[in-house]
Structure 1
């Protein structure tokens, strides 16, 4: 099944609903970063959350999520946009913890329960919007939910789920986000809470072959759902050798000369996708000339 996200309205527009299958997207991140079991689940949930938040902004507008907990996984950084693109990395990809007391992957143990959850929105204005909340769970779904309720004042429910296979590959990954609009009745909120009480993991539903539309149907039962849009989602990093050249230029001539003298070249690695870019001596000399205008 292809990766895509659906946007919908329920209860006559009182609730905005989003659901996504991001299995191939998370699998691409796992492959690029060689994440181990627990790190795969933590990074995967974060990528799914990034896609769901990204779906709330317009096409080129960008969203960055920074999860900086006190667990062994270290920082998790996710970039997404309104076009369904996402990229991200976990600081320590080789984390494989014992299962938790429920027999599940211990994402909380990897992320930690103390730290900061930050969202930066670049909406093309002069200053990006930034919101910050404490990490309240480390399971990540609750942390996205808490951020939306406190920082954006939108009562929400976020479910993030990744099924990691025995060989550390990604079997399924996906999630949902429900947002209660202003003016929604108490009855609707109570009904929603009841719907979510016994909901199976999204990854299990995807494993059964259910689509994002099916996931919302499972949540809302007989309630009519007005589907608005289907958005393809994918792991996409726009790094390039040209961008790294620009970054190397900012180091200045002495730093670049040291790369030539000591290493006879340089290798730049993109944190988000793991792509490597090699610069030989001639290319580095070319960058020095660019700075000096050809004068040594």
Structure 2
């Protein structure tokens, strides 16, 4: 089954909810960046959260970027998602190795340390919207929950999980975002809070074979919900040699002249997918002209 997101409303429109299975896109990211297990979990959680947040945006060309900068060995993570279920991202340090945390899980919080999360929404306006929070736990789901509450004033619950195989490939990945509308009844809120408190772990539900629809059923319990949209999700990088050439064309003529004089040509690597692009001296001359 390929990765996909479901969008739903519940309790007669008092709740909006999203859920995803993202094993394939997280495995694609792992392969592109050759990440260690803890970094696969960190990047995978952020990719899963970001791609759900991406489909919350209205415009076809809207872009959402989430950057985490911390003082832990991972240093930083960057992911970008669009409104159509495409997401890409990269870690600053791909090969962090840490012992498990106190719960025996991959120590994502320890890898990121203390730091900040920035959410940047580019919606084609003059200035992008930027919301920034201090990391709460570094476990990513808690941080996104806090971001929604403080920066967007939307009471939310975010659950994200990545489970690894013994050979370091991705076994399961996915999660949910549930948000309360301003007019939600107290009774519905209590019921939802009680239900979410009973969920032990997202990866347990995914390991059981839960689809995004079944994840929402687990989260919402007997609160009625209706799926309004199903969106395929994938790790997708839109880099190309042409786009890299355009970036090189923004360099100063002096810099380009130095590269040409070197006579070796250059290699440029895309941050997001690690694809390498070669430019020989003739191509550099054409870019300079």
> Which residue of structure 1 lines up, in the alignment, with residue 66 of structure 2?
65
1:39-118 matched pairs, under 5 angstroms: 39-58=39-58, 59-112=60-113, 114-118=114-118
| Regions of 4+ moved over 2 Å | 200-204, 260-263
Q: What does residue 276 of structure 1 align with?
A: 276
1:21 Cα offset (Å): 0.5
Cα deviation, 1:89-141, whole Å, max 9, x if unaligned, reads 010000121111111100101111x2111111111222211111111110110
Measured on the aligned residues, the alpha-carbon RMSD in Å equals 1.1
Q: CA contact under 8 A between 1:84 and 1:233: conserved in structure 2?
A: yes
Instruction: Quote how far apart the aligned CAs of 1:65 are.
Output: 0.5
Task: Determine helix, strand or coil for the equivalent of 1:119.
Answer: strand
Query: Which residue pairs with 1:138 in the alignment?
Result: 138
Shift of 1:60: 2.3
Cα deviation for residue 209 of structure 1 reads 1.6
**Deviations 1:28-71 (CA, angstroms, capped at 9, x unpaired):** 00000000011110000110110121121023211010111111
1:216-266 per-residue CA deviation (whole Å, 9 max, x = no partner) reads: 111122322111000000011111111111111222222122223336101
How do residues 169-184 of structure 1 correspond to structure 2 at under 5 angstroms?
169-184=169-184
The TM-score, its normalising length taken from structure 1, stands at 0.95
Structure 2 residue aligned with 1:4: 4
1:190 matched to 2:202: no
Instruction: Please name the residue that 1:38 is paired with.
Output: 38
Contact 2:21 2:212 in 1 (8 A): yes
Which ranges in structure 1 are unaligned for 5 or more consecutive residues?
A: 291-296
Q: What CA distance in whole angstroms lies between the structure 2 residues aligned with 1:18 and 1:156?
A: 11
2:17 maps to 17
Report the more deviating stretch, 244-253 or 37-46: 244-253
Q: Number of matched residues?
A: 288
Quote the Cα distance in structure 2 between the aligned partners of 1:147 and 1:200.
22
The TM-score, its normalising length taken from structure 2, stands at 0.97
Following superposition, the deviation at residue 204 of structure 1 comes to 2.4
Alpha-carbon contact 1:60-1:83 (below 8 Å) kept: no
The SS at the match of 2:176 is: strand
Q: Do 1:17 and 1:176's aligned partners in 2 also have CA atoms closer than 8 Å? A: yes
- Tell me the residue number matched to 1:154: 154
The whole-number CA distance in structure 1 between the counterparts of 2:279 and 2:231 is 37
What is the DSSP-based 3-state SS (H/G/I as helix, E as strand, rest coil) of the residue aligned with 2:12? helix
